[in-house]
Structure formats: C-alpha cells, structure tokens
C-alpha cells in the first residue's frame, strides 16, 4: 500500500468488530471504519434488520461487511461472535466495544435488576468482548504490513466516567469501571503491541438520550452543558474511532479521548464559583 492509499484508507485490509453497530454511535462508527477500508462485523442485540441493512450498504459500496447477533453480556455468545467474524474474514484487528444502555432511577428506587442489567451489558459486556478480541489478536498471525499494532481495542465510555450523574448511578458506575478496566488492560498488553483506548462521548444525538434533545426546550437546557454550542452527532465519535484504530495514533494507549464539545470543562464554572 503506498502513502496516498494509506492516508485515504488507513484501515485497508483490516477487520473490525463493532458491538452495538445497529444504532446510534455504533452505526456511525461502522460506516466510518468501512469508509476507511476495514471489513466490518456489525453486531446487534435486537435490531437485526438495521445491522443487516448497514452491512448491505457497505457491500453495495464495494466494501466487506456482515451482521452478527450476540448479547454482549453472554460469554458463550461473545466467543461465538468473535469466532464467526474470524471465520468470515480470516482475522480480527480492531474491536470497538460500544454496546450500552441505560436503566435510570433515583438511587433509593433503583432495583437490583436495573443495577445488574446496566453493569452486565455496559461493563461485563466490554470485559467479555475485550477478552475475546485479545485472545484472537494473540492467536493470529502478526501482519505488520497492515498495522504497526498487533491489535486495537476502543472502549466506548462516556463523560460519565468522570462526571457524577444523579439518577443514573448504575450507568456512571459502569463507565467509571470501563475507564480503569481499559487502563489496566492497556498496561497489561502494551508489551505485546496491543493498544487499548476509550472514547468518552458527551451528548450525542442518538436514541439512547432522545428525551434530552427531542424538544426545543430540552435541547436548550442540554446546550447549557456544552460550551461548543451544539449537540454531537455519531460522526463526531466515528472520526475519533477511525483515528484511534489507525496507525496515526500508534503511540497512544491507555487514554480516554473526550469528544464532548467541552462538556467536561464544567461550563457552570465559567462565570460562577
Ligand atoms: P443506542 O442508539 O441506544 O445504541 C445502543 C446499541 O447497543 C444498540 O446497537 C444496541 O443493539 C446495543 N446493545 C444494547 N444492549 C446490548 C446487548 N445486550 N448486547 C449487544 N448489544 C447491545 O445508543 P448510543 O447512544 O449509540 O450508545 C452507544 C454507546 O455510546 C453506549 O455505550 C453509550 O453508553 C455510549 N454513549 C452515548 C452517549 C450519547 O450521548 N448518545 C454519550 C456517552 C456515551 P440493538 O439496538 O440491536 O438492541
């Protein structure tokens, strides 16, 4: 691959798995990785049609993609998913562990089921996917012609890995957990040239937070938290994912990249405090 081709399609020849690729941020990441040249496995839990449609779009544009169903909280399903991706594309180079959900409640009213569901999908799900990807990276032939790193993992975190969030203790705990899981894993596998990073999105326009941007009044209140003055789009996160997956970020590991329009600049302190 010459220099120009590498700049245009930095992930050419590589294989990516995006969990929760059937909606929102994951769907944006899927399209961007494919445009950057990767073959992409689009994971879904319930929205099979959306994942299959995304894969069809990529194939119609000349790329390679498949839809793969799996509940990321289920160990056997995750291992089977990675085996399926490897069988189809021959290897795995990039994992974007993105699946996530919310079950919001005031702390005193939060059920154990709601606590467990969020931790199971958001945190244990990322553990299972990272472990399965890591085992694959270590088992397969190294391809330095494709990438300087032996494998790349991107964990989808949130600004709530650092910003406390009343009424969402399960979600904030899951994201705080992702942060230290990511860093501990990055420390462990850096000597094997496997890079592990996270992206912390701010408020991104997707179904998960529809009530926060759906009406003009809700969006106005949300914008008070965003110094840059706009709600984020999945493409904002997708661009960061392509960079973290590519050799352009080859010396970056164990870090969280905040893509939040300044939300973690705590704008309430700009003229107060
Ligand atoms: P979304 O549109 O609701 O998408 C969530 C995705 O997760 C869907 O593809 C869904 O699959 C998948 N999923 C849910 N449970 C799953 C399970 N058990 N196994 C496998 N996949 C499962 O939400 P989003 O905003 O794109 O969120 C994506 C990630 O970004 C999440 O980790 C979220 O915490 C994080 N994030 C979002 C924002 C934001 O403002 N939107 C901000 C910070 C962080 P199906 O639809 O097929 O069931």
Active-site positions?
171
Domain at 193, CATH number:
3.40.50.720
Per-residue pLDDT at 2: 77
Task: Find residue 152's DSSP bridge partners.
Answer: 94, 195
Q: Which of 100, 125, 263 to mutate to test the pocket of ligand 1 (most atoms within 8 A of CB)?
A: 100
CA pair distance 72, 99, nearest whole angstrom: 8
Q: How far is ligand 1, taken at its centre, from the CA of residue 215, in Å?
A: 21
The pair of structure tokens assigned to 122 is: 């958001």
pLDDT of 206 > 90? The answer is yes
pLDDT of 27 > 90? The answer is yes
Domain count, the chain: 1
pLDDT bracket for residue 164 (50, 70, 90): very high
Residue 37 domain-assigned (yes or no)? yes
Between the alpha carbon of residue 114 and those of residues 70, 125, 155, 159, 168, the distances in Å are 20, 15, 22, 21, 10
pLDDT bracket for residue 7 (50, 70, 90): confident
Section 83-100 average pLDDT: 98
Q: Which of 23, 117, 218, 234 to mutate to test the pocket of ligand 1 (most atoms within 8 A of CB)?
A: 23
Write out the residue range of the structural domain in which residue 163 sits: 3-261
pLDDT of 272 > 90? The answer is no
Per-residue pLDDT at 3: 80
pLDDT of 154 > 90? The answer is yes
pLDDT, tens digit (0-9, with 9 covering 90-100), for 255-266: 999 999 999 999
pLDDT of 244 > 90? The answer is yes
Residue 28 domain-assigned (yes or no)? yes
Task: Give, using CA atoms, the residue closest to atom 9 of ligand 1.
Answer: 20
pLDDT of 5 > 90? The answer is no
CA pair distance 252, 203, nearest whole angstrom: 24
Angle between helices 125-139 and 75-89 (to 10 degrees): 40
Residue 267 domain-assigned (yes or no)? no
Residue 268 domain-assigned (yes or no)? no
Q: Which residue has the tokens 């937070």?
A: 209
Looking at the chain, the whole-number percentage of residues with pLDDT higher than 70 is: 99
Q: Which residue has the higher pLDDT, 1 or 134?
A: 134
pLDDT, tens digit (0-9, with 9 covering 90-100), for 52-65: 999 999 999 999 99
Residue 138 domain-assigned (yes or no)? yes
Residue 88 domain-assigned (yes or no)? yes
Neighbours of 216 (CB within 10 A): 8
Q: Which residue has the tokens 């189809």?
A: 88
Q: How far is ligand 1, taken at its centre, from the CA of residue 3, in Å?
A: 35
Mean pLDDT, the chain, integer = 97
Residue 194 domain-assigned (yes or no)? yes
Task: Give, using CA atoms, the residue closest to atom 10 of ligand 1.
Answer: 20
Task: Give, using CA atoms, the residue closest to atom 23 of ligand 1.
Answer: 208
Residue 206 domain-assigned (yes or no)? yes
Q: How far is ligand 1, taken at its centre, from the CA of residue 227, in Å?
A: 25
Residues with CB under 6 A from ligand 1: 19-20, 22-26, 43-47, 71-73, 98-101, 121, 156, 158, 201, 203-204, 206-209
Which ligand 1 atom sits nearest the alpha carbon of residue 122? 32
Listing DSSP states for 41-102 in one string gives EEEESS-HHHHHHHHHHHHHTT--EEEEE--TT-HHHHHHHHHHHHHHHS---EEEE-----
What pairing do the DSSP bridges indicate for beta strands 194-201 and 94-97?
unpaired
């Amino acid at each position: 691959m010459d220099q120009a081709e590498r700049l245009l399609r930095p992930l050419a020849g590589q294989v990516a798995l995006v969990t929760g690729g059937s909606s929102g941020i994951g769907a944006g990441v899927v399209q961007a990785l494919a445009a950057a040249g990767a073959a992409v496995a689009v994971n879904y839990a319930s929205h099979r049609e959306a994942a299959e449609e995304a894969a069809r779009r990529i194939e119609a544009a000349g790329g390679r993609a498949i839809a793969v169903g799996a509940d990321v909280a289920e160990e056997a399903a995750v291992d089977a998913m990675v085996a399926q991706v490897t069988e189809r594309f021959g290897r795995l180079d990039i994992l974007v562990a993105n699946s996530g959900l919310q079950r919001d409640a005031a702390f005193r009213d939060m059920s154990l089921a709601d606590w467990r569901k969020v931790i199971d999908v958001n945190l244990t799900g990322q553990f299972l996917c990272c472990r399965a990807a890591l085992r694959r990276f270590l088992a397969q032939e190294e391809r330095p012609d494709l990438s300087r790193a032996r494998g790349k993992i991107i964990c989808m975190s949130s600004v709530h890995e650092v910003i406390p969030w009343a009424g969402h203790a399960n979600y904030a705990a899951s994201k705080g957990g992702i942060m230290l899981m990511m860093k501990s894993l990055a420390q462990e596998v850096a000597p094997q040239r496997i890079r592990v990073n996270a992206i912390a999105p701010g408020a991104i326009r997707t179904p998960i937070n529809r009530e926060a941007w759906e009406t003009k009044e809700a969006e106005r209140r949300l914008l008070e938290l965003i110094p840059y003055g706009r709600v984020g789009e999945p493409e904002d996160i997708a661009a960061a994912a392509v960079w973290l997956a590519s050799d352009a970020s080859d010396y970056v590991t164990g870090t969280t990249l905040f893509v939040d329009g300044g939300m973690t600049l705590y704008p309430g302190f700009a003229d107060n405090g």
